[in-house]
Amino acid sequence: MKQAMIKPAEYARRRENLLQMIGPGSVVLLQAASEKTRNSDVLYPYRQDSDFLYMSGFSEPKAVLVLVAGASGNRSLLFCRPADPDRAIWDGPRAGLEGALADFGMDESFDIAELDKRLPALMEAAEKVYYKVGSEPEFDRQIMRWMHQLHDTKDAHIPQELVSLEHDLHELRLFKSKAEVKAMRKAAKVAAKAHIEAMKAAPTATNEAELQAELFMVFYRNHCPWSYQPIVGAGDNGCVLHYIDNNMSIKQGDLILIDAGCECEGYASDITRTFPANGHFSAEQKALYELVLKSQLAAIEEIRPGKQWLDAHRVVVDIITAGLVELGLLEGELDELIDAEAYKEFYMHKTGHWLGLDVHDVGDYTIDGESRQLEPGMVLTVEPGLYIAPDCELVEPRWRGIGIRIEDDVLVTREGCEVLSKDAPKSVKEIEALMQGK
């Protein structure tokens, strides 16, 4: 197997950091994602829970991670499925209890079948039990059963608080380490290449599905599975924000909007490009495209330490609204239009989101009601768009059915920012040259 970018020592450091935050006398319980049936005996591809993955690097189902912050030091315990030569014939090998110690840096490992037997005693040693309260009904019930068990045991010590784990853990996840940035840079590089291949294939493609195939070919050749169902929307479909059917025919003169990203060691990229199917922007397409691009470039200028998360969005709203007035899609006084949010008819989403192990990654966007300040190590998307619905009566027919979004993945650095997805072309000139084979 290829050497992992995120090393066991980094996972151990994360566990240590979390236990430092929550302090001694605590126990943390995290459950692996469960397998999900697609139909009959067929399962959906398994994807580990991002919080569990962040704390363990362990990507098998049927596991529970227990972190103990005790007076005599911190311990990491993994309950998982033992190695099983018979099952290995069908499913391949598992890490097993030995692997949990040797490859995942655990202090102790136990058979997951012993969970009920051992967990109450581990909880008994703690004042506070941290877990994702309310997120998995069955796990909630299981923890309550263990609590009842302690209540029913003579002289047992009972933890005084059940505390939600998410806030502290997600604060850690918001700031990316060097190794995480490396993984995200690769995910962005591979996705950018996929977008380039889709652009090159578009002039001879007749259906959106063919372009999705180009994306997947690049993803899987680079061992990076998709990070979310891609959007490949030609023509009017580009205006459907969460379009994922990706099976309609591509018509001469369509714009094609592709929103697609992949994962490297669980870390996502999330890139959107919009380009003309035939490699030539029409006048209307170009006018709106240049406007979105101008707002996107200005928004990226707003990504640096000390700026607020919302500053990029504010700049986009100003530029988009002014541009729509200039092009005649909106009428009125600029300030009034902005106050009235008139742009929302054509631009109804925010300019970005945190990016990491989840595509819409965790972390607070506001602190005490104020938009959060950007700090080095945060990664976010910058993705303004314009969507003129095919049946929009507010504008001349020539603008209708044009959907555009341009999205990059941006790392906040000490000096400003780094656009991780910069390899994907986005100027009109670059796109047309690539698609026309120049």
| Residues binding Mn ion (CB under 5 A) | 270, 381
Question: What tokens does 14 get?
Answer: 């994360």
Residue 383 catalytic?
yes
Q: Residue 242 or 429: which CB sits closer to Mn ion?
A: 242
Phi and psi at residue 4, to the nearest 5° = -75, 150
What gap in Å lies between CA 199 and CA 13, rounded to an integer? 42
Q: How far is the CB of 360 from Mn ion (least distance, A)?
A: 7
CB 29 within 8 A of CB 129: yes
Q: How far is the CB of 241 from Mn ion (least distance, A)?
A: 11
The helix, strand and coil proportions of the chain, stated in percent and rounded to the nearest 5, come to 40, 20, 40
Residue 407 catalytic?
yes
Residue 107 catalytic?
no
Q: How far is the CB of 246 from Mn ion (least distance, A)?
A: 17
Q: Residue 168 or 302: which CB sits closer to Mn ion?
A: 302
Q: Residue 315 or 380: which CB sits closer to Mn ion?
A: 380
Residue 387 catalytic?
yes
CB 153 within 8 A of CB 39: no
Q: Residue 285 or 351: which CB sits closer to Mn ion?
A: 351
Question: What tokens does 358 get?
Answer: 């989840």
Q: How far is the CB of 434 from Mn ion (least distance, A)?
A: 23
Q: Residue 50 or 381: which CB sits closer to Mn ion?
A: 381
Out of 60, 358, 407, 409, the active site residue is: 407
Question: What tokens does 430 get?
Answer: 């670059």
What gap in Å lies between CA 419 and CA 432, rounded to an integer? 22
CB 256 within 8 A of CB 211: yes
Phi and psi at residue 262, to the nearest 5° = -135, 180
Residue 168 catalytic?
no
Out of 214, 311, 405, 408, the active site residue is: 405
Q: How far is the CB of 129 from Mn ion (least distance, A)?
A: 35
Q: How far is the CB of 172 from Mn ion (least distance, A)?
A: 22
Out of 60, 259, 263, 408, the active site residue is: 259
CB 298 within 8 A of CB 316: yes
Q: How far is the CB of 339 from Mn ion (least distance, A)?
A: 27
Q: Residue 236 or 270: which CB sits closer to Mn ion?
A: 270
Q: Residue 94 or 273: which CB sits closer to Mn ion?
A: 273
Tell which residue, 115, 97, 147, 96, has the closest CA to residue 30: 115
Tell which residue, 349, 295, 290, 337, has the closest CA to residue 320: 295
Out of 270, 358, 408, 409, the active site residue is: 270
- Which residues in 350-380 are b (16+ Cβ under 10 Å) and which e? bbbbbbbbbbebbbeeeeeeeebebeebbbb
Beta bridge partners of residue 231, listed in sequence order: 259
Tell which residue, 294, 298, 285, has the closest CA to residue 404: 285
Strand locations in 161-293 (E): 161-164, 231-234, 255-260, 263-264, 267-268, 271-276
Residue 210 catalytic?
no
Catalytic site positions: 41, 242, 259, 270, 349, 353, 360, 383, 387, 405, 407
